[in-house]
Amino acid sequence: MKRLYVILFLVIAAAAALGLAIAEHSGYVLIAYKGFRFESSLWATLALVAVLWLVFWGIKALVELVMTSSGVVNPWSRRNRSRRVQVAIEHGQLDLAEGRWASAQRHLHRAAEAERQPLLYYLGAARAANEQGHYEESDSLLERALERQPQAELAIALNHAQLQTDRGDTEGALATLQAMHERHPHNVQVLRQLQRLHQQRGEWSEVIRLLPELRKDKVLPSSELAELERRAWGQNLSLAARQEDGEVGLQSLNRAWQQLTSAQRQEPQLVLAYAEQLRQLGAQVEAEEVLRTALKRHYDSHLARLYGLVRGSDPARQLQTAESWLKDHPADPSLLLTLGRLCLQNSLWGKARDYLESSLRVQRNPEACAELARLLAQLGDTEGSNQLFQEGLGLLDDRLLAAPLPVPVHA
């Protein structure tokens, strides 16, 4: 309030000073130019200038108001175009996230044509077209994106490869990624997509070729890379064994095994894959030797289980070897199952039953149930055999017990 009084006082003082100045001397202004002549007092001239200034600014404000109003009303104004593009972007992104593909494609295509940086909108529209099965439209949208933003070639190609994979065109995706790999050999995303695509296509030898680059460029965490390496070499062993039957298949398997490093040939997972393929090719004696050597070096429950499924040259010595591991691993259900199986090979029925029952006491396992059920059936215990077969069937898949059985219909 005090400030208001000060301002009011100053206004009154200025008005009084101006009145005194006008009363003391009116002044004189003369403007003459050719035939034009203007004469007036100084204060009247200043008042006229002030009025003209106010009229000018009033007209300017009115014109701006009219222009702004027409921009709101006029659908072709720049303001409305910008608003329509923003609405198209918002609707398109929402439609894309919620799976309304046709609407997403329409809105994002419209936004892409209007924006200066249209890449993301073209990519979204291409994905929406791809989801609808409109593959030519999808590719055309990506080509248009490349025309508008040629510097984004890699990003567009990666998205194109993913869309090709989604539509089942793995050959086209592979060609796209290989071209990008030549131009960008150390790009992490290119290497990652190549690895996934080779893995999806079952091309494990190609995955193996990529492993040094995946390691060098740190594409995967070390633990994930190690697991991928073991899986790739294991699958490669399986593929080598399946290429040919008999002796040729065995030679192919052994060549693949020799390609591994010495350290790899000691990894239980790879030893397991190699021994299993030897067993399937009929090289039982070789498989037994491989497993015995590996288990002597380092005990592994999975290898011990497979040891009971192969037949070595001397079944009695094989049983004796397996029993030597029991001292250090008395509660391993896989080893007890193997001992039961080896006793069956050696016709030691009572001992086999003891080992199989011990395995089941440690862990209810469908394989142990089946082996013991077979043995009990041969020994004449039909009821016990049937119970174990039923239990083993249930253990194979608990979902078999999830639904109630139909009620028997009595005549």
CATH 1.25.40 fits 84-148, yes or no: yes
Dist CA 151 CA 166 (whole Å) = 25
pLDDT at 299: 95
Residue 262, exposed/middle/buried by CB under 10 A (0-12, 13-18, 19+)? exposed
| Burial profile 315-349: b = 16 or more Cβ within 10 angstroms, e = fewer | beebbebbbebbeeeeebbbbbbbbbbbbbeeebe
pLDDT at 33: 72
- Report residue 90 as tokens: 């918002």
Tens place of pLDDT for every residue, the chain, 411 residues? 777 777 777 777 777 776 666 666 666 666 777 777 777 776 677 777 778 888 888 888 777 766 655 444 445 455 567 788 888 889 999 999 999 999 999 999 999 998 889 999 999 999 999 999 999 999 999 999 999 999 999 999 999 999 999 999 999 999 999 999 999 999 999 999 999 999 999 999 899 999 999 999 999 999 999 999 999 998 888 888 776 666 778 888 899 899 888 999 999 999 999 999 999 998 999 999 999 999 999 999 999 999 999 999 999 999 999 999 999 999 999 999 999 999 999 999 999 999 999 999 999 999 999 999 999 999 999 999 999 989 888 887 655 555 555 655 554
Global pTM reads: 0.64
pLDDT at 411: 43
pLDDT at 243: 67
Among 327, 267, 328, residue whose Cα is nearest residue 302: 267
The residue ranges of every structural domain in the chain are 27-58, 84-148, 233-313, 322-395
pLDDT at 46: 72
**Which of 2.60.40.10, 3.90.45.10, 3.30.1200.10, 1.25.40.10 is the CATH number of 322-395?**
1.25.40.10
Written as one letter, the residue type at 95 is: D
